[in-house]
Amino acid sequence: MLISQILDDAETIRVVARNGGKTRIINGARSVYSLAMEAARTGVGLVALIERKGLGETIDLDAAYKKGRLLSPINHPDPAHLHLTGTGLTHLGSAATRDSMHKKLSTDGEEELTDSMKMFRMGLEGGKPAKGQIGVQPEWFYKGNGTMAVAPGAALLSPAFAKDAGEEPEVAGIYVIGDDGAPFRVGFTLSNEFSDHVTERVNYLFLAHSKLRNAAFGPEILIGDLPADIRGSSRIYRNNEVLWEKPFLSGEANMSHTIANLEHHHFKYAAFRQPGDVHVHMFGTATLSFADGIKTEAGDVFEIEAKDFGLPLRNPLEIEQPVKVAVKAL
C-alpha cells in the first residue's frame, strides 16, 4: 500500500491511499502524522487502521502533482520536531564515488586508504550482523529539521555560498516516536538527499557543512517491508531535455548494512526517541551526477523514480540570494 497527502481546493489536508488500484481518500484521517500516531497508540497496524477507517472519494494523484497540490508525505505540526538525518557509505557501489572525492597521497606517492574506504570496509565486515546482534555503526549526518523539508514539485534551494548543488537518490525510512519513546516505522519513501559535493571534497571534515541543505522526499510512502532489490533511475532535466541519467540500486541486496542495523544506530540516542517526533532517515546511495562531472544550474529539474514507490520525486533547483548575517549583542 502507498499513502500520501495532498491539499484539496479548500486548502484542507487529505490523506490518500492506493493498493494497486485507484487513489482514494482515507476517511477521517487528518494527516499522515495523526494517522501514524493513532496506529502507534492503539497498537493497530497502519494498513489495518486504514482499512478500518475505509476509503472514500477517488483522487487523481497525477493531476494533483501537476497542480502543485502534493505535500511531503509526512510532516509535523511543529517543524522543529521533524528531523532530517542520513547515513552514507552503506551501498555496495558507494565507496568508489566517495573515495575518488577524498583521495589523498602519502609522502612516497603511494595512495593511502582514505577514511571513506576504511568506513566502507567496516560496513562490509560488520554491517550485517546476525539477528539480535548489533553491527558496526555507519557514517551518520544531520541535515536539519522540518523547515528544510521540501515538498514534491517544490524547489530545492541551494545557498548562495554553496559550491555545488547535487542530487543524491536514496530510500528513506519514515518514523514516528510513540508516547513511551518507542520508534515506529511508518514505511519507506524516495528521497533526494541534496548536498554540496564540492565543499565535501575540499576536506572530509566539511561533510557536516555540505549536508546542511534542503531535502525532498516522497511523493508516496510504501507501507510494509522494504524490497530487497530496488532498481530506480535518477535523472536531471535542463530546458526540458535529459542532461544526465543513471540507474541506482538500493535495498539490502545492494547494501553493506541491514536496515535494522542502520535504524539501531540512529535511535540508540535518547535525543532521537522524544515522544511525538518525526524522523526521516536516509539510507545512502551509490549514484551521483557529480561523480560524472555534472555541474547543476538554476532551473534544472531532478527526477528520482523506482516503481516500488509510485510516483517519481521531482524538484527544480533554485539558488538563494546572498544573505549577510551580523550578530548583535544584547
What are the average pLDDT values for consecutive 10-residue runs of the chain, which has 330 residues?
95 95 96 98 97 96 96 98 95 64 47 75 90 94 98 98 97 98 98 96 91 98 97 98 97 95 98 98 94 96 97 98 95
CA angle at 319 for the pair 236 and 212, rounded to the nearest 5° = 90
pLDDT score for 117: 80
pLDDT score for 92: 85
Please enumerate in sequence order all residues whose Cβ is within 8 A of that of 240, keeping only pairs 6 or more positions apart, or say none.
Answer: none
Return the amino acid letter for 280: V
Q: What 3-state class would DSSP assign to 169?
A: strand
Q: Which of 16, 13, 159, 17 is nearest to 76 (CA)?
A: 13
Contact 244, 235 (CB under 8 A): yes
CA angle at 134 for the pair 224 and 112, rounded to the nearest 5° = 110
Phi, psi of 233 (to 5 degrees): -135, 140
pLDDT score for 226: 97
pLDDT score for 103: 53
pLDDT score for 63: 96
pLDDT score for 96: 58
Q: How far is CA 207 from CA 49, 81, 88, 141, 161, in A?
A: 41, 23, 11, 8, 15
Contact 239, 205 (CB under 8 A): no
pLDDT score for 95: 56
pLDDT score for 93: 72
Q: Of the CATH numbers 3.90.850.10, 3.40.50.1820, 3.90.950.10, 3.40.718.10, which one belongs to the domain with range 74-319?
A: 3.90.850.10
Report residue 330 as a C-alpha cell: 544584547
Query: Domain spans of the chain?
Result: 1-71, 74-319
Q: Is 98 exposed, middle or buried (0-12, 13-18, 19+ CB in 10 A)?
A: buried
Report residue 136 as a C-alpha cell: 558496526
The rounded distance, in Å, linking the Cα atoms of 237 and 299 is 9
Q: Which of 97, 124, 64 is nearest to 290 (CA)?
A: 97
- The CA-to-CA distance between both ends of the chain, in Å, stands at 53
pLDDT score for 119: 84
Report residue 43 as a C-alpha cell: 497498537
Q: Is 272 exposed, middle or buried (0-12, 13-18, 19+ CB in 10 A)?
A: middle
Query: How do strand 141-145 and strand 82-86 relate by DSSP bridges?
Result: antiparallel
pLDDT score for 114: 78
Paired residues of 17 in beta bridges: 3, 24
Report residue 13 as a C-alpha cell: 489536508
Q: What 3-state class would DSSP assign to 66?
A: helix
Query: How do strand 13-18 and strand 241-250 relate by DSSP bridges?
Result: unpaired
pLDDT score for 296: 98
